[in-house]
Structure 1
Amino acid sequence: MNIRVIGAIVVLCLVWGSLWGLVKHSLQIFPPFLFISLRLILAGLTLMIVQRILRKSILPAKGEWKKLIISSLMICIGFYATQTFAMQFVDSGLSAVLVFTMPIFIGVLAHFILKERLNTQKMIGLVLGTLGLIAILWPQLHHIHLNLSLMGQIILILSGLFWALTTVNIKQNFASYDKIKLTIWQLLIGGCVLFSGALIFEPIDVQVWITLLNDSILLYIAVVGTGFAFALWNWIVSQVDTFVASISIMCIPLLSLFFGYVLWHEPMTLNILVGAAFICSGIVASSLNIKMKKKTIIPLPCK
């Protein structure tokens, strides 16, 4: 792994690690669904410009639209919209940890849908991930009563599940598809659906949208945190083994906890630290591909 790849991984982890706090901050300024829809649309348009610079096709073929719409609704409404809604009630660092249970869910889904065997490493990952979720939710489970914080945490876990479902869907239906073009239409279709609904149900305060600082944060989240980061991630995957790339970004939930604690003064309780450690260990364990060496039996010569 050369210095350029290492540098790109560091930049990506810092961008995505710090993004959760900025999103949480933005939800205190912007209406949630107007914010997420504009983020998706701006990111999609950014990738469209990148695709144009690369001189690659942008418009899908006629028969591809149905699958693209289904995939877009899964990622934009099932993942982004639920995540954005839930983050109004949960700290940014904890949100990242709960959403990053996605690789653990993939282990189970791939076993039943993609017929990829649920091996020992994935089973260990599922157990560790479950223990992590129990540790994080323990204060609410110990004195169980429905509140906005618990509801937000459960929705964030479901958001991770939808992310996993979308990933499996992409592997099923878009294995050889241009990934930048796929993401362009995933973001634009779902973003426009959410934008239409937001215009109907959410208030529009013009003063909020014409503030330079607010617009700068939105542009950073959309263009850098979504569009640029996605392009950078694609480049990293093209340079190194996919497994190495996946493991290299597993520090993002921990970085999110760190940034949330230092920059946004979010509490760092013992149960969150223990739960985060279990979940990150579970993600790494479920991603490992350890091959057991079979003992070779050398036959004895016949007498």
Structure 2
Amino acid sequence: MVKHSLQVFPPFLFISTRLILAALTLMLVQRVMKKSVMPQRHEWPRLMILSAMVCLGFYTTQTFAMQFVDSGLSAVLVFTMPIFIGVLAHYFLNEYLTRQKIFGLILGTLGLIAILWPQLHHLGLNLSLVGQIMLIGSGLFWAMSTVYIKKYFATYDKIKLTIWQLLLGGVVVFIGALSFEPVDAKVWLNPLNESLLIYIAIIGTGFAFALWNWIVSQVDTFVASISIMCIPILSLLFGALIWHEALTLNIVIGAAFICMGIVMSALTLTHQKTSMQYSRCPK
């Protein structure tokens, strides 16, 4: 849906409208539940930092790069986020890297190399390579924001948190986009385009991100990030079925390596937790 929308809407007006609409919808939900919307004065600096990482670092970078990279490949590269989380959580959250996690990171890195191999083998500056690098960067920003939430907003109201992390950066991008992107009323008032935008904004962005923020605060960040690794595989399949995007051998091998590394780490974590629980049981 995002790939289709980028062929219809100007990219930065699309992403900023998506973020603002998602935030305003969640603000309405928060008011209906009679909960506080406005942050306290001392909370603004950290909310601004978080919003910059999410809106500018993650969403804006991803949206721009997807114009030059197939949707399935885009999902694979963005969802290398758990690889970055494994490293960041080790240093900032005391969720330590085990040998199995490190091996999973190595597999994920090999997967990245496999995906990028055609460009690396014939290295040259082109929009496809730049787009792929930016998508990996957006995954890094997503990981940074996830760790930041876990560290500073673990007990914070998750709907309120999502409102401001989307709204602050969304407004900045919107103001910038108005200065260099055209506004075509026929595009924005088209019923099909409107329905896509509303779904992507409200369900795919607002409620999905609020749910993600809540999940991150409840479980190990690495485990939380692993749980969404089914998305790249589904994106590759839908990209091939709907957009007729080529599933090249290097993409399939790379996706397999990334998923193997992350799933292996998840199974190891589960095994370790089971062992720890068993060791605590009275003999």
State the distance in 2 between where 1:284 and 1:125 align: 8
Is the partner of 1:201 in helix, strand or coil? coil
Shift of 1:44: 0.8
Bigger Rg, which one: 1
Instruction: Give the structure-2-normalised TM-score.
Output: 0.89
- Contact 2:147 2:221 (8 Å CA) reproduced: no
Q: 2:38 aligns with which of 56, 59, 66?
A: 59
Which residue of the partner structure matches residue 109 of structure 1? 88
| 1:203 lines up with 2:178 in the alignment | no
How many residues are treated as equivalent by the alignment? 274
* RMSD (Å), alpha carbons: 2.4
State the distance in 1 between where 2:90 and 2:227 align: 24
- Contact 1:109 1:168 (8 Å CA) reproduced: yes
Counterpart amino acid of 2:181? E
Is the partner of 2:179 in helix, strand or coil? helix
Shift of 1:232: 5.2
Percent of aligned pairs sharing the same letter: 72
Q: 1:129 aligns with which of 92, 108, 113?
A: 108
| 1:291 lines up with 2:268 in the alignment | no
CA 1:43–1:64 in structure 2 vs 1: closer, same or farther (change >3 Å)? same
Shift of 1:117: 1.9
CA 1:231–1:267 in structure 2 vs 1: closer, same or farther (change >3 Å)? same
Which residue of the partner structure matches residue 216 of structure 1? 195
| 1:172 lines up with 2:126 in the alignment | no
State the distance in 2 between where 1:48 and 1:94 align: 34
Instruction: Return 273-282 or 246-255, whichever deviates more.
Output: 246-255
Unmatched segments (≥5 aa) in structure 1: 1-21, 297-303
Instruction: Give the structure-1-normalised TM-score.
Output: 0.84
Superposed CA deviations along residues 78-109 of structure 1, whole A, max 9, x for unmatched, are: 11010001000001111011000111101111
Which residue of the partner structure matches residue 68 of structure 1? 47
Shift of 1:154: 0.5
State the distance in 2 between where 1:237 and 1:83 align: 21
Shift of 1:222: 0.5
Which residue of the partner structure matches residue 165 of structure 2? 186
CA 1:257–1:191 in structure 2 vs 1: closer, same or farther (change >3 Å)? same
CA 1:129–1:140 in structure 2 vs 1: closer, same or farther (change >3 Å)? same
Counterpart amino acid of 1:178? D
Is the partner of 1:265 in helix, strand or coil? coil
State the distance in 2 between where 1:233 and 1:115 align: 20
- Contact 2:162 2:213 (8 Å CA) reproduced: no
| 1:49 lines up with 2:28 in the alignment | yes
Unmatched segments (≥5 aa) in structure 2: none
State the distance in 2 between where 1:204 and 1:273 align: 39
Superposed CA deviations along residues 214-242 of structure 1, whole A, max 9, x for unmatched, are: 11111111012112333555787899998
State the distance in 2 between where 1:227 and 1:96 align: 19
State the distance in 1 between where 2:111 and 2:213 align: 30
